Amino acid sequence: MMKYKFILLFFILLICVSNAEQKIFQKIHQNKIKREFSRSEFSELKSPEVDSSDPKWLRNMNYDQWISDMKNSFEHGNYSKWASSVNKQMNVEEMVQGVNDLYKSSASCIGCKFLVNMARIMMQKGKSNDQILDIGTKICNVFKIQTPRVCEGVMKIIGVDVVDVVRHSNLKGSQICRFFLGQPCVNGYAAQHDWNITIFPAKEPKIRYPLTKPSEKVPPLKILQISDTHFDPLYEVGSNADCGEPLCCRASSGAPNSTKSAAGKWGDYRKCDTPLILLENAIKHIVKTHKDIDAIYWTGDLPPHDVWVQTREDNIANLKFTSKLMAKYFKGIPVFPSVGNHESVPVDGFAPPHAPPHKNMSWLYDQLAVEWSRWLPTKTHETIRKGAFYSTLLKKGFRVISVNGNYCSRMNFYLLWNSTDPLDQLAWLSKELQSAEDKGEKVHIIGHIPPGGKECLKSWSSSYYDIIN
């Protein structure tokens, strides 16, 4: 888990729900599938929500005092007063440690709620998004969560969109924390994120048990899976591999303070991504030693971890370059790609259709359709352009379905608005599987984010398992 995620979290936490969302929310339709959305939940937003189940200090903390201390401290370059007052209230060290396992540590949930409560008060006092972003950057700096340029860049690239999303969410603070962190946040159930999909058309499969093994004469298939190549075009041998940022080993990482800190020729096990020489040689080696590969599952995460400076253009260039490399070496071998969470800018942000139009994903999905068309039939373009998922035959009787797991990811902050089966992907999956079953096809489902994992939203996961089981 990269530390930038915590900065993101910090941010999410800092920004809160204003009172003005009702209008926007009225535009979002009622959930027709299982429940009516209760409008009474909006009224609670009128006053800062404080969970009675939260620790006393968290409920009673004088956030106003804290904020004014902070302001003074920032202006006079002396952080001790407010920093120590916060430290007294909570174990900041443990919180910062908790960053490394966001989904396990209850400290990350306390930290989340602390900041949400604080941000709520800031919003009530009419603070603008820029002022909140600014405080976010300062907190990131003061707690040395990242270097100043990373703090600032993350706020600019990721924070801006997170502000936008949280501003238009109707959720309480505890519900927001529960959405992003899951398990560690015991409270914060939100009915709108608890949904089921109706499985289409819910026919019982005609499978006879026990299943019979294929005969020995049936030749096995050899499938190569490649994932998370994270090719870094700016990797530089000899640069600082121990730079304290989410990504090192670049000229911009500064000079190494000893030969031990210098980036190696073939890459580096510290905070570094993949140099071209490693990627290219690994592929060449595979081609040489495995001449009988039947197909490749290529499960995403192509760009490097420089999420605080990344641009859409960078990521598209990386997609084009890496796709070309794959095609060059794996000549004539079918490749079945999936999209990872790093393909988007901001990282993890894959806007569903209810997001504002200018956030639409066509900049990425149209390009995926183009690059993937090397290996996939034109029939797949429609769903790729819609949501970066597709279904196609690997060979007769054997289907590959590639899903876009970013629509189940807790880190996909756009889903805070509405996480109900984004783009009807699960409904589509259930139809595809039914049709495959009707035709007697076998199916592999590939993707980047595993359903059932901590990062995947519970409703999406359980609906997924309902479908495949």
Ligand X SMILES: *[C@@H]1O[C@H](CO)[C@@H](O)[C@H](O)[C@H]1NC(C)=O
**Other C-beta atoms lying within 10 Å of the C-beta of residue 100:** 14
Decide if residue 80 touches ligand X (CB under 6 A): yes
- Cβ closest to ligand X, residue 141 vs residue 227: 141
Decide if residue 425 touches ligand X (CB under 6 A): no
- Cβ closest to ligand X, residue 14 vs residue 166: 166
| Contact letters for ligand X, residues 81-120 (x by CB under 6 A) | x---------------------------------------
- Interface of this chain with ligand X, residues 195 to 254, rule: CB under 6 A: 195-196, 242, 244
- Interface of this chain with ligand X, residues 248 to 287, rule: CB under 6 A: 257-258, 261
| Annotated binding-site residue? 29 | no
| Annotated binding-site residue? 448 | yes
Are 351 and 168 in contact by the 8 Å Cβ rule? The answer is no
Relative to beta strand 335-337, strand 295-298 is parallel
| Distance, CA of 340 to CA of 411 (rounded, Å) | 12
| Distance, CA of 70 to CA of 150 (rounded, Å) | 21
| Distance, CA of 320 to CA of 337 (rounded, Å) | 13
Q: Which residue has the tokens 């089921």?
A: 196
| Contact letters for ligand X, residues 154-193 (x by CB under 6 A) | --------------------------------------x-
Choose among 347, 247, 246: nearest CA to 300.
Answer: 347
Give the count of residues interacting with ligand X (CB under 6 A). Answer: 26
Where would I find the H helices in 301-391? Answer: 312-329, 362-372, 381-387
Decide if residue 60 touches ligand X (CB under 6 A): no
Decide if residue 362 touches ligand X (CB under 6 A): yes
Tell how far CA 87 is from the center of its chain: 30
Of positions 205, 219, 220, 357, contacts ligand X by CB under 6 A: 357
Shortest Cβ 366–ligand X spacing (Å): 10
Shortest Cβ 236–ligand X spacing (Å): 17
| Annotated binding-site residue? 292 | no
- Cβ closest to ligand X, residue 194 vs residue 437: 194
Decide if residue 31 touches ligand X (CB under 6 A): yes
**Other C-beta atoms lying within 10 Å of the C-beta of residue 142:** 16
| Annotated binding-site residue? 404 | no
Name, in order, each residue with C-beta under 8 angstroms of 47's C-beta and a sequence gap of 6 or more.
none
Residue-wise DSSP of 273-342? -B-HHHHHHHHHHHHHH-TT--EEEE----S-S-TTT--HHHHHHHHHHHHHHHHHHSTT--EEE---GG
| Annotated binding-site residue? 230 | yes
Radius of gyration of the chain (CA): 24
For the annotated binding site, the residues are 228, 230, 301, 341, 448
Residue ranges at the known binding site for Zn(2+): 228, 230, 301, 341, 448
Site of interaction with ligand X (CB under 6 A):
28-32, 34, 37, 78, 80-81, 192, 194-196, 242, 244, 257-258, 261, 357-358, 360, 362-363, 418, 420
